[in-house]
Amino acid sequence: MRMRLLAAAALLCASMGAFAQKKDAPGVFFAEPKNGATVPTEFKVVMGVKGMTIAPAGETAPGTGHHHLLVDTKPVKKGDVIPADENHLHFGKGQTETTLKLPPGRHRLQLQFADGAHRSYGASMRRTISVVVK
Protein backbone atom coordinates (compact mmCIF):
# COMPACT_ATOMS: atom_id res chain seq x y z
CA MET A 1 0.00 0.00 0.00
CA ARG A 2 2.77 2.40 0.95
CA MET A 3 4.57 1.70 -2.36
CA ARG A 4 1.39 2.52 -4.28
CA LEU A 5 1.03 5.82 -2.44
CA LEU A 6 4.67 6.71 -3.12
CA ALA A 7 4.27 5.81 -6.81
CA ALA A 8 1.08 7.90 -7.06
CA ALA A 9 2.78 10.85 -5.36
CA ALA A 10 5.78 10.60 -7.71
CA LEU A 11 3.49 10.50 -10.73
CA LEU A 12 1.57 13.54 -9.47
CA CYS A 13 4.79 15.51 -8.89
CA ALA A 14 6.09 14.62 -12.35
CA SER A 15 2.88 15.70 -14.03
CA MET A 16 2.83 18.96 -12.05
CA GLY A 17 6.41 19.65 -13.13
CA ALA A 18 5.49 19.09 -16.78
CA PHE A 19 2.52 21.45 -16.38
CA ALA A 20 4.72 24.14 -14.85
CA GLN A 21 7.22 23.83 -17.69
CA LYS A 22 4.49 24.08 -20.32
CA LYS A 23 2.86 27.04 -18.53
CA ASP A 24 6.17 28.94 -18.53
CA ALA A 25 7.12 27.98 -22.10
CA PRO A 26 7.39 30.70 -24.78
CA GLY A 27 4.16 31.39 -26.66
CA VAL A 28 1.76 33.93 -28.08
CA PHE A 29 -1.70 34.92 -26.91
CA PHE A 30 -4.68 37.05 -27.81
CA ALA A 31 -5.28 39.58 -25.03
CA GLU A 32 -8.31 40.74 -27.01
CA PRO A 33 -10.70 39.38 -28.28
CA LYS A 34 -11.27 36.19 -26.34
CA ASN A 35 -11.91 32.85 -28.04
CA GLY A 36 -15.57 32.55 -29.05
CA ALA A 37 -16.26 36.28 -28.65
CA THR A 38 -18.99 38.02 -30.61
CA VAL A 39 -17.54 41.18 -32.13
CA PRO A 40 -18.74 44.01 -34.41
CA THR A 41 -17.56 44.15 -38.04
CA GLU A 42 -14.66 46.37 -36.95
CA PHE A 43 -12.89 45.30 -33.76
CA LYS A 44 -9.62 45.63 -31.89
CA VAL A 45 -7.08 42.79 -31.73
CA VAL A 46 -4.41 42.91 -29.02
CA MET A 47 -1.52 40.44 -29.39
CA GLY A 48 0.97 39.28 -26.80
CA VAL A 49 4.08 37.14 -26.55
CA LYS A 50 5.94 35.55 -23.65
CA GLY A 51 9.43 34.12 -23.56
CA MET A 52 10.60 35.99 -26.68
CA THR A 53 11.32 39.61 -27.57
CA ILE A 54 9.47 41.62 -30.19
CA ALA A 55 11.80 43.02 -32.84
CA PRO A 56 11.05 44.61 -36.22
CA ALA A 57 11.29 42.70 -39.48
CA GLY A 58 14.85 42.47 -40.69
CA GLU A 59 16.32 41.83 -37.23
CA THR A 60 17.19 38.15 -36.93
CA ALA A 61 18.70 37.85 -33.45
CA PRO A 62 17.86 34.57 -31.70
CA GLY A 63 14.76 34.74 -29.49
CA THR A 64 13.24 37.66 -31.37
CA GLY A 65 10.47 38.13 -33.92
CA HIS A 66 7.18 39.81 -34.62
CA HIS A 67 3.48 39.01 -34.90
CA HIS A 68 1.51 37.86 -37.94
CA LEU A 69 -2.27 37.50 -37.97
CA LEU A 70 -3.66 34.79 -40.23
CA VAL A 71 -7.35 35.19 -41.03
CA ASP A 72 -9.42 32.23 -42.24
CA THR A 73 -6.45 30.37 -43.69
CA LYS A 74 -4.19 27.38 -43.02
CA PRO A 75 -1.33 27.47 -40.51
CA VAL A 76 2.19 28.15 -41.77
CA LYS A 77 4.71 25.38 -41.05
CA LYS A 78 7.80 26.02 -38.94
CA GLY A 79 10.53 27.57 -41.06
CA ASP A 80 8.22 28.57 -43.94
CA VAL A 81 8.00 32.25 -44.87
CA ILE A 82 4.58 33.75 -44.09
CA PRO A 83 3.04 35.22 -47.26
CA ALA A 84 1.92 38.86 -47.33
CA ASP A 85 -1.69 39.12 -48.55
CA GLU A 86 -5.19 39.92 -47.27
CA ASN A 87 -5.23 36.70 -45.18
CA HIS A 88 -1.69 37.00 -43.79
CA LEU A 89 -1.24 40.31 -41.98
CA HIS A 90 2.31 41.30 -41.00
CA PHE A 91 3.24 43.47 -38.02
CA GLY A 92 6.89 43.93 -38.96
CA LYS A 93 7.28 47.20 -37.10
CA GLY A 94 6.70 45.36 -33.83
CA GLN A 95 3.04 46.35 -33.42
CA THR A 96 1.03 44.53 -30.76
CA GLU A 97 -2.46 45.71 -31.68
CA THR A 98 -4.56 46.45 -34.72
CA THR A 99 -8.13 47.06 -35.83
CA LEU A 100 -9.59 44.30 -37.97
CA LYS A 101 -12.63 44.61 -40.23
CA LEU A 102 -14.38 41.38 -41.23
CA PRO A 103 -17.75 40.51 -42.78
CA PRO A 104 -20.47 38.93 -40.60
CA GLY A 105 -20.02 35.26 -39.77
CA ARG A 106 -17.60 32.96 -37.97
CA HIS A 107 -13.90 33.63 -38.53
CA ARG A 108 -10.72 31.84 -37.47
CA LEU A 109 -7.81 34.01 -36.30
CA GLN A 110 -4.32 32.61 -35.89
CA LEU A 111 -1.61 34.58 -34.18
CA GLN A 112 1.76 33.39 -35.50
CA PHE A 113 5.12 34.64 -34.27
CA ALA A 114 7.94 34.61 -36.82
CA ASP A 115 11.55 35.70 -37.06
CA GLY A 116 12.89 38.84 -38.72
CA ALA A 117 12.77 37.15 -42.13
CA HIS A 118 9.06 36.23 -41.59
CA ARG A 119 9.89 32.54 -41.09
CA SER A 120 7.26 30.91 -38.89
CA TYR A 121 8.29 29.62 -35.49
CA GLY A 122 5.60 26.96 -35.98
CA ALA A 123 2.89 25.54 -33.75
CA SER A 124 4.68 26.30 -30.47
CA MET A 125 4.42 30.03 -31.24
CA ARG A 126 0.89 29.99 -32.68
CA ARG A 127 -2.49 30.50 -31.02
CA THR A 128 -5.84 30.06 -32.77
CA ILE A 129 -9.20 31.49 -31.76
CA SER A 130 -12.54 31.93 -33.43
CA VAL A 131 -14.81 34.96 -33.35
CA VAL A 132 -18.34 35.58 -34.54
CA VAL A 133 -18.78 38.87 -36.37
CA LYS A 134 -22.30 40.35 -36.07
Instruction: Please give the model's pTM, rounded to 2 decimal places.
Output: 0.82
pLDDT tens string 68-84: 999 999 999 999 999 99
Record: fold of 26-133:
Immunoglobulin-like (2.60.40)
- Each domain of the chain, given as residue ranges in start order, spans 26-133
Residues 6+ apart with CB under 8 A from 13: none
For residues 119-127, give the mean pLDDT.
98
Residues in the chain, total:
134
Q: What is the pLDDT of residue 3?
A: 45
